[in-house]
């Protein structure tokens, strides 16, 4: 049996919840509950999420801010928007089935919540960032304060392991990797046997010609530009027929009112503010989001609070200098093969790793 649940949270206060077709009042003003009754009702959700039931819910990470759950439950987190009433939640959840990506998202929520609750040190003051996973594509979105924009001029550290080294791990050409997997284009997939896929693309287009040759950056701009704009007539796609066919097929599917999907089946379609382009790009970004959620959870299980932060296509971990080589050996295969055991051919995601004792003041190690 699958239980379908939701808790409406506003300004970190749980207002009401639903369990299947039943409404559970919580802390909404005017509902007549005593504080003890509201806490008892909230405990129902905590107990339920610790049980052996399969749970389908939505915006699970936000729920972790008001619940005590250890991460061992069989929970699936789906993406539903504009839930304002209990009936909205009951109606919208009724039509949703569980799929693998939802469990990956729920598992990742535990890791993001833990790192968010730990915070980081900014000029010796403890700051608490935020990550929102309830986004259209599933890509995390920073809230509260983002560390990404801070330079090496700031003293940034991990309160769980201060004054150690930053090991920064960055996927190379993640957007293009998602396109290569979804399109099954042989030439584009072959690009990822090289350490620099964009240079490989430039070499393919240039065909050994040196005069007026396409540079790496020009190749990157041309290929990503044609894909992100769904420009199937772009000249560069003459070299990537699989990509062209994929773009055309997705245009036809969306035009017919049907859904396109990420690599693990998250669905996207046209409707409301969502255009053909936003749905198409979300299928790629959603694929990268799956990879990041898988990796972030695995690394959290291994490194705990030493896992420092996630920024778009990269993850940073704080490690003792004496453990750097050991940590690289652990991290590299996890990040290089995020979909191991989940999809055919186990595609490699090339990574680059950097090390430094100060935030963003690091050097390449591999």
In this prediction, residue 71 carries a pLDDT of 62
Query: What DSSP letter does each residue of 99-137 carry, written as one string?
Result: -HHHHHHHHHHHHHHHHHHH-EEETTEEE--EEE--SSS
285 token code pair: 């970004």
314 token code pair: 């990269």
Distances (CA, A) of 291 to 17, 231, 264, 278: 30, 26, 10, 20
- Residue 215 is given by DSSP the state P
In this prediction, residue 145 carries a pLDDT of 83
Distance CA 179, CA 129 (A): 31
Contacts 24+ apart (CB under 8 A), 66-74: 66/7, 66/9, 66/12, 66/13, 66/14, 66/42, 67/7, 67/42, 69/110, 71/107, 71/110, 73/49, 74/103
Whole-structure pTM value: 0.94
pLDDT tens, N- to C-terminus, the chain (366 residues): 799 999 999 988 999 999 999 999 999 999 999 999 999 999 999 999 988 889 999 999 999 999 988 766 689 999 888 899 999 999 999 989 999 999 999 999 999 999 999 999 999 999 998 888 989 999 998 887 888 889 999 999 999 887 789 999 999 999 999 999 999 999 999 999 866 888 888 998 888 777 778 899 999 999 999 999 999 999 999 999 999 999 999 999 999 999 999 999 999 999 888 999 999 999 999 999 999 999 999 999 999 999 999 988 999 999 999 999 999 999 999 999 999 999 988 899 999 999 999 999 999 998
In this prediction, residue 72 carries a pLDDT of 60
In this prediction, residue 26 carries a pLDDT of 97
| CATH code for the structural domain at 124-173+287-364 | 3.30.70.370
């Amino acid at each position: 049996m699958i239980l379908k649940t939701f808790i409406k949270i506003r300004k970190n206060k749980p207002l009401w919840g639903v369990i299947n077709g039943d409404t559970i009042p919580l802390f909404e003003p005017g509902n007549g509950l005593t504080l003890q009754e509201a806490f008892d009702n909230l405990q129902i959700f905590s107990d339920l999420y610790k049980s052996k039931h399969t749970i389908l819910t939505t915006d699970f990470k936000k729920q972790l801010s008001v619940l005590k759950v250890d991460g061992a439950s069989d929970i699936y987190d789906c993406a539903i928007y504009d839930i304002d009433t209990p009936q909205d939640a009951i109606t919208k959840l009724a039509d949703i089935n569980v799929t693998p990506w939802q469990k990956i998202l729920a598992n990742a929520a535990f890791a993001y919540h833990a790192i968010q609750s730990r915070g980081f040190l900014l000029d010796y003051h403890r700051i608490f960032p935020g990550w929102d996973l309830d986004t259209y594509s599933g890509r995390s979105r920073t809230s509260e304060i983002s560390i990404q924009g801070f330079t090496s001029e700031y003293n940034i550290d991990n309160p769980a392991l201060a004054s150690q080294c930053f090991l920064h791990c960055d996927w190379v050409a993640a957007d293009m990797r998602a396109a290569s997997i979804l399109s099954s284009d042989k030439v584009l997939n072959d690009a990822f046997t090289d350490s620099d896929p964009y240079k490989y693309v430039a070499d393919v287009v240039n065909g050994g010609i040196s005069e007026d040759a396409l540079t790496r950056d020009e190749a990157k701009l041309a290929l990503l530009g044609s894909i992100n704009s769904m420009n199937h007539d772009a000249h560069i796609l003459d070299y990537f027929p699989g990509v062209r066919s994929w773009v055309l097929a997705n245009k036809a599917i969306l035009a017919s009112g049907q859904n396109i999907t990420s690599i693990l089946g998250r669905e996207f379609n046209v409707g409301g503010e969502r255009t053909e382009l936003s749905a198409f790009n979300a299928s790629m970004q959603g694929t990268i989001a799956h990879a990041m959620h898988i990796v972030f959870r695995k690394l959290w299980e291994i490194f705990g609070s030493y896992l420092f932060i996630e920024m778009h296509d990269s993850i940073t971990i704080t490690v003792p200098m004496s453990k750097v080589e050991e940590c690289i050996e652990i991290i590299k295969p996890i990040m290089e093969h995020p979909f191991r055991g989940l999809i055919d051919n186990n595609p490699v995601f090339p990574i680059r790793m950097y090390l430094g004792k100060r935030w963003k003041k690091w050097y390449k190690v591999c």
